[in-house]
Amino acid sequence: MTDARSQIQQALDENEVVLFMKGTKEMPQCGFSSRVAGVLNYMGVAYRDVNVLADEAIRQGIKEYSDWPTIPQLYVKGEFVGGCDIVTEMTLSGELDQLFDKTEVPYNKEAAEKIREANG
């Protein structure tokens, strides 16, 4: 499992934003992964997607790494943010914007506001 852990750590070290998901950002393989990727894509966030379906060791390893049982998992600047429900809640409350502002991750603020307007 150390190989998976080192691959996870490398992805987090080399990218400001990482989404461990089922599928890819272009072709999510589950609704929850699709929702989080959709938010990040719409907000114009540059992020690395890691397809856990392509590697069972990564799929299990990320759950152990974060001590979080489900996928997708979003990380910003190496810190675990949460899964689909948490990211959705943070998007709608504006907390995700605040996190991106605090960590200096570029995103489209107008797009974030449109998401809130559409779901308000």
- The binding site for [2Fe-2S] cluster consists of 30
CB neighbour class for 105 (10 Å; exposed up to 12, middle 13-18, buried from 19): middle
Residue 78 near residue 48 (C-beta atoms within 8 A): no
Count CB atoms within 10 A of the CB of residue 18.
Answer: 24
Binding residues: 30
- 43's CB contacts (< 8 A; 6+ apart) are 96, 107, 108, 111, 112, 115
Give the Cα separation of 23 and 102 in Å (integer). 29
